[in-house]
């Protein structure tokens, strides 16, 4: 057995340990406080952020399409949508940063507010690709025409697509024979004006009215004076009407 340390020896040892350990403990506490007080380093900006202006310029050149090319691009995108082959182009953070400084859409799309008809998805396009005006029944008033004028003149967009869709609720209300309530009446009145003088053929009356309405809106836009009419006459703007099928997802141009 080992002999026990005398009491005075224990005291000496404890004092010696205090002399050695106390500075170490103080140093450790100070280090911990310094570490806690130091704010985390800021994350570096993405490498592509500095290149945003250059990316915008590149996009402007890449999207310098004429009306026919823009329409073909939209139709190709719709085919991808129908086939569940949608891509991720122009939908990521890099694209968001690129278009933050400016926009260069390839088309103006006038379509219904119906939640089943999101144009960016059914045309498989991304941020900054299309300039959208959405209102129930895809009709236009002075405010809608002004929005189109801005995009056509200021952004030099070459194409307007007016898109009606299958089983449109606004069109259904317009041909129901019943007065629409409140401000809905402003929408149904416009649609009814487009149907004056037309005779529905045998078949789906709502779908026929959808197509007639979309075509009439396209004519209204193309003949809007003084600005849009002049752009159309100069070959700088093309206006087309299309129909979207809710069931199979296809978009088809109307005659």
- pLDDT tens profile 131-188: 999 999 999 999 999 999 999 999 999 999 999 999 999 999 999 999 999 999 999 9
CATH placement of domain 51-253: 3.40.1050.10
d(CA 221, CA 229): 8
d(CA 93, CA 100): 10
d(CA 74, CA 97): 23
Range in 97-101, 106-110, 158-162, 227-231 the model is least confident about: 97-101
Those residues with Cβ within 8 angstroms of residue 55's Cβ, 6 or more apart along the chain or in another chain: 48, 94, 97, 98
Q: How confident is the model at residue 244 (pLDDT cuts 50, 70, 90)?
A: very high
Per-residue confidence (pLDDT) for residue 63, from 0 to 100: 66
d(CA 159, CA 239): 6
3-class DSSP string for 190-207: HHHHHHCCCCCCCCCHHH
Domain ranges of the chain: 1-38, 51-253
**Cβ contact 112:168 at 8 Å:** yes
pLDDT in tens, 190-217: 999 999 999 878 899 999 999 999 999 9
pLDDT in tens, 218-229: 999 999 999 999
User: Taking each helix axis from N to C terminus, what angle separates 205-222 and 184-195, rounded to the nearest 10 degrees?
Assistant: 90
Q: Decide if pLDDT at 26 tops 60.
A: no
Residue with tokens 């009814």: 192
- Which is it for strands 238-244 and 251-253: parallel, antiparallel or unpaired? antiparallel
Q: How confident is the model at residue 57 (pLDDT cuts 50, 70, 90)?
A: very low
**Cβ contact 48:94 at 8 Å:** yes
The strand ranges marked E within the chain are: 107-111, 130-134, 159-165, 238-244, 251-253
Strand partners, 132: 109
Per-residue confidence (pLDDT) for residue 146, from 0 to 100: 98
Per-residue confidence (pLDDT) for residue 10, from 0 to 100: 39
Q: Decide if pLDDT at 106 tops 90.
A: yes
Per-residue confidence (pLDDT) for residue 88, from 0 to 100: 82
Q: Decide if pLDDT at 230 tops 90.
A: yes
Per-residue confidence (pLDDT) for residue 91, from 0 to 100: 87
Strand partners, 159: 238
d(CA 134, CA 225): 22
């Amino acid at each position: 057995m080992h002999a026990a340390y005398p009491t005075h020896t224990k005291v000496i040892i404890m004092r010696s340990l205090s002399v050695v350990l106390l500075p170490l403990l103080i140093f450790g506490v100070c280090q911990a406080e310094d570490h806690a007080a130091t704010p985390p380093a800021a994350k570096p900006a993405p490498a592509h952020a500095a290149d945003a202006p250059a990316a915008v310029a590149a996009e402007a050149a890449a999207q310098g399409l004429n009306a026919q090319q823009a329409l073909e691009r939209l139709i190709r995108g719709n085919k991808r949508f129908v086939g569940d082959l949608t891509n991720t182009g122009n939908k990521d953070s890099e694209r968001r940063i690129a278009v933050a400084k400016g926009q260069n859409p390839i088309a103006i799309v006038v379509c219904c507010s119906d939640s089943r008809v999101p144009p960016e998805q059914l045309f498989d396009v991304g941020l900054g690709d299309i300039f959208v005006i959405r209102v129930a029944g895809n009709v236009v008033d002075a405010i809608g025409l002004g929005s189109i004028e801005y995009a056509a003149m200021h952004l030099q967009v070459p194409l307007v697509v007016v898109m009606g869709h299958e089983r449109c609720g606004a069109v259904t209300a317009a041909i129901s024979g019943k007065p629409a309530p409140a401000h809905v009446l402003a929408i149904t009145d416009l649609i009814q004006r487009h149907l004056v003088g037309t005779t529905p053929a045998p078949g789906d009356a709502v779908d026929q009215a959808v197509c007639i309405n979309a075509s009439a809106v396209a004519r209204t836009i193309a003949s809007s004076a003084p600005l849009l009419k002049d752009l159309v006459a100069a070959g700088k703007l093309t206006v087309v009407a299309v129909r979207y099928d809710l069931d199979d997802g296809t978009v088809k141009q109307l005659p």
